[in-house]
Each structure stands twice: as C-alpha cells, then as structure tokens.
Structure 1
C-alpha cells in the first residue's frame, strides 16, 4: 500500500508541471494575442486559464488521495483522485462547448480578419510545448495507473490541438482563406467535448462501482490457476482511485483443514498481487458439497 501512496506523490509532480505550463502559456498567448490583434490566440489563452483550474483540481484530488484511512474513510481517500478526474472532465466539456459556440458565432456573423503572423508562431510553439507535457504525464499515468493524471494528460493533448487549430486558422487567413479558422475551431471543439465525455464516462463508472467485464474475466482466470481451487463462486470488484478492491468466494475441497484453506487464500492474494497488481483482496473459502445419489446436497 505504501507504493500506492508513493505513486500518488509522483502523479502530483505531473499535475504541478501542467499548472506551471498553463500559467506560462496563458500569459504568453494573452499578451501576444492582444499585441497582434488575434482573437483566436486570445481565446486560446483564456482557455488555458481554465486549464489551470482543472489541473489544480487534479492536484488537490491527488493530495487528498494520499491521506491515510481514518474512522470516516476505512478504505482510505483514494476516490478523491477519481472525483478530480470527474471535475476535470466537466471543465473540458464546458470549454469544448464554448469553443463550438464561438465557432458557430464566427460562422454566422462572419468577418474576415487577418491577424499578425506572430500569433500563429506562438500558437505552434505553445502547442508543441504542451504536447511534450502531455507525453510526460501520459507516460507517468500509465506507469502508476493514475486516473487523475491521465485526465490531466488528455486535457494537455486537447490544448495542443486547440493551439494547432488556432495556428492553422491564422496562417490560412494570410492566404485569403479566413473561413478555415472557424472550421478548425469546430473540429477542435468536437475533439475537446469527446475527450471530456470519455473521461466523464470512465470516472462515473468507477464512482458507481462499475467494473470492466474483460478485466474481471482475467481476474477469475488468474484465481482458477491457483492449485486446489475447485472453482470461483463469486467475484465482486470495484475501483478505488488507482486501486482495485476484490471480494472473492472460492470453492475448495471439504477435506482441507482451516490452515490449508487459509494458505490457499494467501496464494490467491499473492498471485493477484504479482500478476495483476491487485493489493486489496478479501478471499472467502467455502467447502465443496457433493450431491448424494438422490441429488440432495
């Protein structure tokens, strides 16, 4: 369990990097956007200010998750990380809908604008920078199985796409194609909303104790490989932050002693820990009851 808490601390580092990156990028975009008269870059800068709030939510969620179990939270505070993912996804959806609204407004009340090319250069540089932040956060999130940091990483990627879309629109306006800007904004807005929706769906699934059936089948298969396990009678699984909690009932021979049954539970826990990285499992053994000739147990 100590490793899980250390992983959360590593995830906090990624969230801090995102916050720092967004502070720098939003200041740069707002400044250059104002000087170059680029509404697209200015809007992108304002978008990044909301990303600071989103990343702060993830960071706070990760910090709360590291709190040890207490009288009110016997399973720990790990679900605070999932709550942070939920908040981040809602912010992403709102930002995506705002991008779509502004794009639709630009199409309906279209006015050709030719902003300074410097705005496009800044947009590309910022998109590349936040893309590298995305790669870093995604790598760490996969390594430590952090849903909160993965949500932050997906937010980073969506912002990279926003930056590219902004740059494409500005560059196209230089060649007499100003309509490309709102079109790019529509595509980027749809992408942001979809990314936010995917994170929201996963977070709500975890918070309502949903569990992936394929992963559950892998757990059952792993348990069945333990010697002297006759069958897996029941497995209930739920996600708690970056942890999987299991309640397992297995059937064993009625001839086994209590000590032997206990040893089997430890074998199951050890196998789940080593092969599937599951550290929290409550295993209950039941004796195999054979039917007599009349079919009565």
Structure 2
C-alpha cells in the first residue's frame, strides 16, 4: 500500500534532511566569523550580538544534524519505536546553550547602556549585516523547499530560524544606520533586542522539546485526527484516541466500535482504511487500531492526550 512504501523510504528522507543542516552550519560559520571580526573591529555592538546569535544557530544546527544521524538507526530491542526522539533531546540541550549566550549578550549590552558610553560604529558594519540578511534569506528558501519536499518538521523549524536570523540582521543594520545620524544609543539597543530574541528562541525550543518528551501534543491535532477517523466508513463510534510525538513522527492509538455483525476480515478492512486515511490526510505512519463491537449504551470519549 502507499503508506507502507513511504514508510520504507522514511530513513532515506531523513538522510536528505542532513543537506539542509549542513547548508545552515556552513552559512552560520562564515557569517558569525565575519560579523564578530567586523563588529569588534569597527565597534558595533549590534553586529557583535548578531554574530553571537549565529554561533548559537551553529549549535542548534549541529543538534539537528546529530538528531538526524541518530534517528536513522533502525528499531532494536531497547528502542522498538526507533531512535527518532534523539533529535528532540539534542534540541533540548541546544536550548540551554542558546539561553546562556543570549543572557550573556543581554548582560553585556545592559552594562553598556547603563554606562552611557556610546560610539557610532563604522557604516561598513551595516553593509555586513545587510549582506548577511540576504544570505540567510537564500538559505531559508533552500531549507524551506527541502523541508516541504521530505516533510521534515526539524528542518522546517531550522528554516524558520533561518528567516528569523535574516530579520535579526536587518534589525541590526537599522540600529547601525540610526547611529550614523547621531542616535548612537540605537546600536546597543539593537544588540539588546538580539539578545532577547536569542533567549526567546531558546525558550521556544525548550518548551516544544519538553512538551514532546512528556508525550504532549496539540489538542487541535487530536481533534483533526478524531474527525478523520470518525468519517471513515464502517466506524460507528470512537471510544479512545491517543497520540504522541516521537521525533518527527506521530504515534496514534485508537479504539473504534463497529457493527458487531461484521466478519473479522471486514473489521480488518476498516482498520486498513483508517491507517490509509490518516496517512493521506495527516502523514501519520504509525497507527495502532483496536476494533470492538458496538455497545450503544457505552459512552464514547472524544479524544485523550
């Protein structure tokens, strides 16, 4: 069947996602080096902060790469569902490192703002920031297309981070250009904003990672799954529906009630149809369906987390 063939190529698609991670790492290595060198040389706190932002992005990209590498390991005795959560754990570790860097940028910039020692940076730093924004927009476009092609959530998140970095660089450029017109305080303010963005990104990664590791899932996703199963021909009621995120996959467990007069083969056909519909509509590859005879007096549940 279609979803079974797709399942066989899942590990191949994960491997394709490594290309996007490597592209991000290469771009961040070059840009962070240039930004930190030019920023320190020509006295731009905003560009230096943007350079540190890219350093944290290297860490996050490496975490994605490591996660993708480990996720390719097939299921074994200790990991019957595979190793897909390695990617989530790597992202969680990266969030702590990113938060540390972001707080350091905020502290250093805060001291500069309190001291009131402002100096207009060289206009060259603004051009560097603008050039970096253009590069990151190109990287974002590449990773976004690749993420859609292979349907990889981690790479899609990395692409969103690429777009965020492009916007951060534009913000740094605005602060630097503003300093050229006498608003010298605008450069450190832009640096402070970058520090806050780093911390915000770290928090979002931390929250999504811990939510997934504790088997949390968006309630809206459950409602959509419930609707798809309920609309499957032959399903008379849904007594239980559970789902949890496992790396880039969603594991679903369902208990449905069908006509008690159906044969075993007919009940199995309904199970196959549920799996097919969940794959087609929601790209769900791992579904466990249990069929029970319809009991009219039994109260059905909408869904469970």
TM-score of the pair, normalised by structure 2: 0.87
The residue correspondences of 1:72-111 to structure 2 (distance < 5 A) are 72-111=78-117
Alignment equivalent of 1:265, drawn from 248, 267, 271: 271
- Once residues 153 and 101 of structure 1 are traced to their aligned partners in structure 2, the CA distance between those partners, rounded to angstroms, is 28
Aligned partner of 1:251 in structure 2 is: 257
Aligned partner of 2:131 in structure 1 is: 125
Alignment equivalent of 1:50, drawn from 47, 50, 56: 56
**Deviation string for 1:173-199 (max 9, x for gaps)?**
222111111222233333332233223
- Deviation (angstroms), 1:34: 4.3
Query: CA 1:102/1:139 → structure 2, altered by over 3 Å: closer, same or farther?
Result: farther
Aligned partner of 1:169 in structure 2 is: 175
- Once residues 99 and 285 of structure 2 are traced to their aligned partners in structure 1, the CA distance between those partners, rounded to angstroms, is 34
- Deviation (angstroms), 1:30: 3.0
- Once residues 208 and 269 of structure 1 are traced to their aligned partners in structure 2, the CA distance between those partners, rounded to angstroms, is 25
- Deviation (angstroms), 1:43: 4.1
- Deviation (angstroms), 1:142: 4.3
Alignment equivalent of 2:207, drawn from 178, 201, 204: 201
Q: Which structure 1 segments of 5+ residues have no match?
A: 292-297
Q: How many residues were matched structurally?
A: 291
**Deviation string for 1:236-269 (max 9, x for gaps)?**
1111111111111000111112222111111111
The answer to whether structure 1 residue 159 and structure 2 residue 165 are counterparts is yes
- Once residues 158 and 276 of structure 1 are traced to their aligned partners in structure 2, the CA distance between those partners, rounded to angstroms, is 27
Aligned partner of 1:294 in structure 2 is: none
Alignment equivalent of 2:121, drawn from 106, 111, 115: 115
Contact 1:134 1:157 in 2 (8 A): yes
Contact 1:162 1:185 in 2 (8 A): no
Q: Please report the RMSD computed on the Cα atoms of aligned residues, expressed in angstroms.
A: 2.1
- Deviation (angstroms), 1:129: 1.1
Contact 2:63 2:90 in 1 (8 A): yes
Contact 2:168 2:194 in 1 (8 A): yes
Contact 1:84 1:148 in 2 (8 A): no
Contact 1:158 1:192 in 2 (8 A): no
Q: Classify the secondary structure of the residue corresponding to 1:289.
A: coil
Moved more, 53-62 or 129-138: 129-138
**Deviation string for 1:85-107 (max 9, x for gaps)?**
32333333333323322221121
Query: CA 1:107/1:36 → structure 2, altered by over 3 Å: closer, same or farther?
Result: closer
- Once residues 213 and 37 of structure 1 are traced to their aligned partners in structure 2, the CA distance between those partners, rounded to angstroms, is 48
Aligned partner of 2:303 in structure 1 is: none
- Deviation (angstroms), 1:42: 3.6
- Deviation (angstroms), 1:19: 0.6
- Deviation (angstroms), 1:110: 1.7
- Once residues 98 and 3 of structure 1 are traced to their aligned partners in structure 2, the CA distance between those partners, rounded to angstroms, is 43
